[in-house]
Chain A
Amino acid sequence: MPRVSARPARRGRWSAFVALVLVAVMADDLGAEYADVVLNKRAEREGMRPVVFPHWFHRIRFRCKVCHSELGFEMRAGANDVTMDEITQGKFCGMCHNDEIAWGVDNCDLCHSGRPGLRSGIYGGHQTLGPGRW
């Protein structure tokens, strides 16, 4: 009898343990998740910090459709092949960061603000948190 009933109990402890570990893994990223996008295809290789694009900051000012429909940003991290030349010519971020809608491209450090070594991609959200990753 005790042996038999010990199994579900152990399983109970085991699943609680698994749940705790999962929660601990998640806890790493808890606190608000900002959905910041890091763009670092070329920046760091060419001597600049990676670029951090903050969704939360921009969505207070613009609806998604402005960037992802009107301005044509693909809705997938890494899908837009952004280069500094094109920005300076008024494409991508440069459609707004042109000293008219927002401050211009001479403010290098405001965009190139990422920690060295960051990989391109979205940070926070389903890429770092949630069963999809396990």
Chain B
Amino acid sequence: MTYGACDVLNISVRRILLTLTLTLCTAWTHAGEWKSLLEDGIHDPAGPAIGILQQPAEALGILPPDVTGNKVRWRKALEDGYINPRASLAPDTRIRQLDTNILMRNTGDLPYVLFPHKPHTEWLDCSNCHERIFKSKTGATPMTMLAILNGQYCGQCHGAVAFPLTECGRCHSVPATEAGNAASVR
């Protein structure tokens, strides 16, 4: 089997287009800056609040940067003390936290998913997830990536408010070969 000129051309056209696509993808997803309220498509540019409301760039530009979503690495912003949002209003509200990890291995060819309770319970209460979205029992909640992409399970927050689902590696973070036994496994 030999390749003719046509095949070589076709293959390189394909490769060039792929490279171009990937480059544009990366450029586009990583380019955006904080849109001003005037051009976010949501605020009324003619309304009296423009000019009084805070511009996102002013508040978010000084926090640890991210490449997607709000362009803020919110976990780091909290853990490194850039922000210290209140955890309760009433003095007697119980603040619950948990520091366990769950390794989710139903991931096909991709690295396993490591779900960490700690960064979640810093922000959220148990009742935000249990038992409405997830059972408190490892392996008891059947999940698929499709359902997640449709806004269920992890997708209820990730994509909307927390870092978006395009960051595969932030969830799929443990290669099968490196899976130790430090976590609860499902």
Q: Which A residues form the contact surface with B (CB < 8 A)?
A: 1-2, 5-6, 8-9, 12-13, 16-17, 19-20, 23, 26-27, 30-36, 38, 49, 52, 55-57, 59-66, 68-71, 75, 95-96, 101, 109-110, 112-116, 118, 122-127, 129-132
Contacts and interface: CB of A to CB of B under 8 A. Distances in A.
Interface string B8-28: 001101100110110011001
B123 A65 contact: yes
A22 B165 CA distance: 16
A110 B122 CA distance: 29
Interface of B: 3-4, 6-7, 10-11, 13-14, 17-18, 20-21, 24-25, 28-29, 31-35, 40-45, 47-50, 52-54, 56, 59-60, 68-72, 74, 83, 85-90, 93, 95, 122-125, 127-128, 149-151, 155-161, 164-166
Contacts, number: 197
Contacts of A33: 68-70, 164
B147 to A, nearest CB: 9
A113 B83 contact: no
A67 to B, nearest CB: 10
A48 to B, nearest CB: 11
B71 A32 contact: yes
Contacts of B158: 126
A35 B35 contact: no
Contacts of B159: 125-126, 129-130, 132
Top 7 A-B pairs ranked by shortest CB distance?
A126-B159, A31-B32, A9-B10, A12-B14, A125-B160, A69-B125, A16-B17
Given A34-B42, A34-B56, A56-B72, 19 more contacts: A2-B4, A9-B10, A12-B17, A20-B24, A32-B35, A34-B70, A52-B42, A59-B123, A59-B161, A65-B95, A68-B124, A69-B128, A113-B50, A125-B164, A126-B158, A126-B160, A127-B151, A127-B160, A130-B164
